[in-house]
Structure 1
Amino acid sequence: MTEEIPLAFWQGVEEFNQQEFYTCHDTLEALWMEASEPEKKFYQGVLQIAVGLYHLSQKNWKGAVILMGEGLGRLNYYYPDYSGINVEQFIDETSQLLKALQNAGAENVETFLPLMQPQGTVQGLKLPKIQKVIGNGE
């Protein structure tokens, strides 16, 4: 049985997947501040990746790389899935983007801005999405 996740978390997921990263940050931060473990660390990991992607949208390479890396570090604990979320896929997509950003370097951060467009891709990458686990009887 999965843990009961508050509706506000699913609102944050929707905001994340709509690339409303700053709004997602606000939604998840309120949950994170009130949560206890293990949910607290999970919310924080997702929150940090959202903020990292917000930094990317603002051409802040350092902020994007640091926060995405910290978020990934927190989410590894919840691999492969947690509370109906496909953590494995989320980690994989975020890790690929982080690696590409690190390889490109700060001077090339603008080459990743097309990712912020609907269906945008760069070097075969898309922005990470938070997906539900498929096939668990829901």
Structure 2
Amino acid sequence: MKVVLQRVRHAQVAIEDQVVGKIGVGYLLLVGIENTDTTQQIDYLVHKIVNLRVFEDENQKMNLNLKQVNGSILSVSQFTLYADTKHGNRPSFTKAGDPDHAEKCYTLFNQKLQAAGIAVETGKFGADMQVDLQNDGPVTIIFDTDQA
């Protein structure tokens, strides 16, 4: 799995000009799945994301996690995280997970984030979405379970 995490002041996702997910302070997660991903990768990422300390404390040190700032997550599926751009000018997406497997993993990932006590909003798997955000910091962190 690959997840691009952006610390945001606010974010929203829309489909055909209809907002389907919206948060205030928290994380925008762009989530990519490959066919070899299992619940082990999902559990690893949920633990890392829920406990990640990238919010500032009273001393302006990145020392607080999402729960400590009462933050939320906007989770958006994004198969293009598995783009292969090594050959030619048109990316290949053959490393991206089969849609059925990827959707199951994406749904389970979001359910496990919610079970950890985090409010989670989502886009719609496979839809053409427009994402608006205000990155805070900016803070952007990339998780790749193949490199964990």
Q: TM-score of the superposition, structure 1-length normalised?
A: 0.27
Query: Which protein has the larger Cα radius of gyration, Structure 1 or Structure 2?
Result: 2
Q: Which of 1 and 2 has higher RCO (CA within 8 Å, sep 6+)?
A: 2
Higher helix share: 1
Q: Give the alignment's TM-score, normalised by structure 2.
A: 0.26
